Amino acid sequence: MNNRFLLLALPLALLSGCTSYYVNVDACKNRMRADYPGAASAPLKITGSGAAYQGSRVIVRGTMETDPVPPATKKLQAPVAAECTFNEKTLTGFQWLSPAVFAKKTAPADE
């Protein structure tokens, strides 16, 4: 009887850590969209994300349109990235990693 319980409990315990991963990735994507300063002028397209063990640190990557620099005539896609840190499922930190203009505005206070 104990073996059956163990066989059922172990996968559930392992999956509980995975749910933090997905919840934290979604929370970071939502925070990135909410704090995106160029929303009125250039749309943000999220292209990928990655997270550390159980979602304690999440990086979200994307692109945004920028105005063309002559002699180019088409809008360019510039890379955008943000980092979120979590304590379990609680967001404890957010900062822009790129572009440099965004990153300067959210640099950690201790730097």
Summarize pLDDT for 51-94 with one digit per residue, the tens: 988 889 999 999 998 888 888 888 889 999 999 999 988 999 99
Q: Residue 53: CA atoms inside 13 Å, Cβ hemisphere, count?
A: 1
Residue 38 has pLDDT above 60, yes or no: yes
How many of the other CB atoms lie within 10 Å of CB of 86? Answer: 23
Write down the pLDDT at residue 105: 66
Give SS3 for 74: coil
Q: Is residue 81 part of a domain?
A: yes
This model's pTM is above 0.85: no
CA–CA distance, 78 with 72 (Å, rounded to integer): 14
Q: Is residue 18 part of a domain?
A: yes
- Say how many domains are in the chain: 1
Q: Is residue 110 part of a domain?
A: no
**Cis peptide bond N-terminal to 71, omega within 30:** yes
39: nearest Cα among 59, 60, 65:
65
Q: Is residue 111 part of a domain?
A: no
